[in-house]
Amino acid sequence: MHDFTILVLPGAYGSSVAVTLDILNAAVALAPRAKSPRPTWRVMSPDGGAVALGSGLRVDTAALPRRSRADASTWILPGLGVDDPAQLARRLASADIAPTIAAVRRHGGRGGAVAASCSAVFLLQAAGLLRQRRVTTSWWLAPELRRIEPGCVVDADRMVCADGPVTTAGAAFAQSDLMLHLLRTRFGTELADAVGRVLLIDGRQAQAPFALPSMMSNGNPLVARLTQCIESALPHPPSVAALAERFAMSQRTLARQVRAATGQGALALVQSVRLNRARMLIESSRMTVEQIAAEVGYEDATALRRLMRRAAGAAPSQFRSGRRSAGAGPAPAVRDA
């Protein structure tokens, strides 16, 4: 009996598939040191054989059995290799993916555990496994998931959401966070933490620090224009009332359209644009936090620090120090006490 079944579809994110296998192999190597059983797994696809991934890599797979049977393994679905809602809808509607959706539906219907990241979360939705669940997905796909599955709670701020037998994760590289969570759940904290330390995987709880307001519109022309309007007005951001007047609609209509496209209100969009500009300045300039706060329209640095901690879970100095640790060179002095 296997602990995990990695279900790979043609065109899947090569990085998501690779990190899944690398983390499991690391867990096997570290299990004796952590006094833990070694994880076991199988790699499967609808038809078996060598499957071409989106990056040009290939992975050998066994074929999914045509007859369903009880399976105690957790089925893991790496990202599908598409990140546009229209492309995603076409991919899920294609004839070759229908047997996979049916197999996932049967496995979940028997109470089997499933886990998916990024666009693969939509495959769980197509299989009817997300209703009444709290889930996450890539933050820019969250509004689309809310639209097509109103019966679930989409918490796009979270990196990983576990709700009963369904575990979901954010964008493609959140597959590493997903795998550490699954190892921790099935094999204990010591093994998961050991793998994280050896592979230098930081513990990340939120996607919010990585969200870009310009991408949250999912091609919505109104939100794209709103974002541009807010950015161009800094350091004097327009109020929601001023935005509604400029775009010739009521504040209620504006709020409804922004929420439909982004999953957040109009005021939250204004704040997201300001905080994103602040983060860019922190990472790319030698300005102090006080100067950056003024540039994005906050009266003092305290307000900026408080909002960044609330929205991104980190103080301004952590973004600058994170950039430095990634090889950005010497850091300027930052007053962020």
Q: How confident is the model at residue 335 (pLDDT cuts 50, 70, 90)?
A: very low
| Cβ burial, residue 252 (10 Å; 0-12/13-18/19+) | exposed
Prediction pTM value: 0.70
At 330 the pLDDT is 36
Residue 283 has what pLDDT?
Answer: 76
Cα 334 to chain centroid distance, Å, stands at 30
Cis peptide before 235 (omega within 30 of 0): yes
Residues 316-325: what's their mean pLDDT? 59
Of 269, 262, 267, which Cα lies nearest the Cα of 227? 269
* Radius of gyration of the chain, Cα coordinates, nearest whole angstrom: 22
Residue 248 has pLDDT above 50, yes or no: yes
pLDDT at position 213: 59
pLDDT at 245 exceeding the cut of 70: yes
CB 50 within 8 A of CB 60: yes
Residue 22 has pLDDT above 70, yes or no: yes
pLDDT bucket at 280, cuts 50 / 70 / 90: confident
Number of C-beta neighbours around residue 168 at 10 A: 33
259: pLDDT strictly greater than 90: no
What is the arithmetic mean of pLDDT over 133-161? Answer: 89
Whether 307 has a pLDDT exceeding 90, the answer reads no
The answer to whether residue 171 scores a pLDDT higher than 70 is: yes
Q: Which amino acid type is present at position 165? A: P
Confidence band of 332 (pLDDT split at 50, 70, 90): very low
pLDDT tens-digit readout, 48-78: 999 999 988 999 999 998 777 778 999 999 9
Q: What tens digit of pLDDT does each residue of 88-115 get? A: 999 999 988 999 999 999 999 999 999 9
Mean pLDDT along residues 27-40: 95
- pLDDT value of residue 328: 39
Confidence category of residue 158, pLDDT binned at 50, 70, 90 = confident
Asked if the model's pLDDT at residue 6 lies above 50, the reply is yes
* pLDDT, position 323: 47
Does the pLDDT of residue 325 top 60, yes or no? no
Q: Is the pLDDT of residue 318 over 90?
A: no
> What's the pLDDT tens digit per position in 200-230?
886 665 565 555 555 555 557 888 889 889 9
In SS3 terms, the chain reads as CCCEEEECCCCCCHHHHHHHHHHHHHHHHHCCCCCCCCCCEEEEECCCEEEECCCCCEEEEEECCCCCCCCCCEEEECCCCCCCHHHHHHHHHCHHHHHHHHHHHHHHHCCCCEEEEHHHHHHHHHCCCCCCCEECCCCCCHHHHHHHCCCCEECCCECEEEECCEEEECCHHHHHHHHHHHHHHHHCHHHHHHHHHHCCCCCCCECHHHCCHHHCCCCCHHHHHHHHHHHHHCCCCCCHHHHHHHCCCCHHHHHHHHHHHHCCCHHHHHHHHHHHHHHHHHHHCCCCHHHHHHHCCCCCHHHHHHHHHHHHCCCHHHHHHHHHHHHHCCCCCCCCC
Q: For residue 239, name the pLDDT band (cuts at 50, 70, 90).
A: very high
